[in-house]
């Protein structure tokens, strides 16, 4: 029996859960992260069924994004204004589909309490960076960026961490980073503006960033732009290590049931 192609679904409801549809959309994007509106667009572009009753399924999809730990909300970069955050997949969730098939999930992806806490702390720090960034841009004295207790910001730590009894306010997972230990740096604009010592040694190239959006309303001073790009790149580094091909391959571009894990 031939497998259904993307087109053959027509107005029929595709056999994918909202989690699978969202994962498809995220994986299909160059940065492995999309705003909600782009996830909607991906789905309606490919599956005509979802061009109707948009309020119903979009509500369900939003519910899934918030409810499932496999989806991570990443604050927008300050130089990319717009509504809503970006959504990406938690790297530990990339194997949640059995044999790589989007038709079947192994089990619900659930973060441990400590992991969730440290992830939230890190993302809150990024959001705080945005506020400080914009305040500084507006000429106001910058608020104390970073975590409320003044702890240091260690990019990517949360995404690579394993379950551990460590308190969330002191994540120390540098040893688990792919490139080896990374020096901690203060999570302030000034610290991020400083030259990064890691760049001086041979290392894997940073994640590719897309060209700047042409409609950025306020041209930012380049150093701040660099700082914004840097923190996003560092955040995404952990994700890209886990999520990007060659881990995953489209088996058939005409359908979406066979993203498969490469061995």
Partner DNA sequence: AGGTGTTTACCGCGCC
Partner DNA sequence: GGCGCGGTAAACACCT
The binding site for DNA (CB under 7 A) comprises 16-19, 35-37, 40, 56-57, 59-60, 62-67, 73, 81-85, 87, 105, 107-108
The secondary element (H helix, E strand) that includes residue 72 is strand 71-74
Q: Is the CB of 66 or the CB of 262 nearer to DNA?
A: 66
- Integer Cα distance of 175 and 27 in angstroms: 27
Closer residue to DNA (CB): 40 or 159: 40
Shortest distance in whole angstroms from residue 59 CB to DNA: 5
Which one, 73 or 258, has the nearer CB to DNA?
73
How far apart, in Å, are the Cα atoms of 66 and each of 72, 228, 263? 9, 25, 31
Taking the complex as a whole, how short is the minimal distance between the CB of residue 31 and DNA, in angstroms? Answer: 15
The DSSP code sequence of 153-209 is B-TTHHHHPPP--S-TTS---GGGSTTS----B--SHHHHHSPPGGGGS--PPPPPP
CA distance 126 to 76: 9
Supply the minimum distance, in Å, between the C-beta of residue 128 and DNA. Answer: 12
Nearest CB to DNA, comparing residues 127 and 174: 127
Report in angstroms how near the CB of residue 109 gets to DNA at its nearest.
8
Tokens standing for residue 186: 């203060």
- By beta-carbon proximity to DNA, the closer residue of 42 and 177 is 42
Residue 230 CB, nearest approach to DNA (Å): 21
- Closest-CA residue to 223 (of 109, 137, 153): 137
Question: Residue for token digits 């994700």?
Answer: 239
């Amino acid at each position: 029996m031939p497998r259904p192609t993307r087109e053959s679904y027509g107005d029929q409801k595709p056999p994918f859960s909202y989690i699978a549809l969202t994962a498809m959309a995220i994986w299909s994007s160059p940065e492995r992260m999309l705003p909600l509106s782009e996830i909607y667009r991906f789905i309606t572009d490919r599956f005509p069924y979802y061009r109707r009753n948009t309020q119903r399924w979009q509500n369900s999809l939003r519910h899934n994004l918030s409810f499932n730990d496999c989806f991570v909300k990443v604050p927008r970069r300050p130089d990319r204004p717009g509504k809503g955050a970006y959504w990406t997949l938690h790297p530990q969730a990339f194997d949640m589909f059995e044999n790589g098939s989007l038709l079947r999930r192994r089990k619900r992806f659930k973060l441990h309490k400590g992991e969730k806490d440290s992830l939230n702390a890190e993302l809150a720090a990024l959001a705080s960076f945005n506020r400080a960034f914009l305040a500084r841009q507006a000429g106001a004295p910058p608020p104390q960026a970073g975590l409320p207790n003044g702890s240091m910001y260690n990019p990517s730590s949360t995404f690579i961490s394993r379950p551990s009894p460590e308190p969330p306010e002191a994540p120390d997972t540098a040893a688990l980073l792919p490139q080896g230990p990374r020096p901690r740096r203060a999570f302030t604009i000034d610290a991020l503006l400083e030259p990064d010592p890691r760049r001086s040694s041979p290392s894997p190239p940073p994640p590719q960033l897309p060209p700047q959006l042409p409609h950025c309303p306020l041209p930012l001073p380049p150093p701040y732009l660099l700082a914004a790009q840097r923190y996003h790149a560092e955040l995404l580094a952990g994700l890209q290590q886990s999520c990007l091909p060659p881990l995953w391959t489209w088996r058939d571009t005409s359908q979406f049931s066979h993203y498969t894990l490469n061995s």
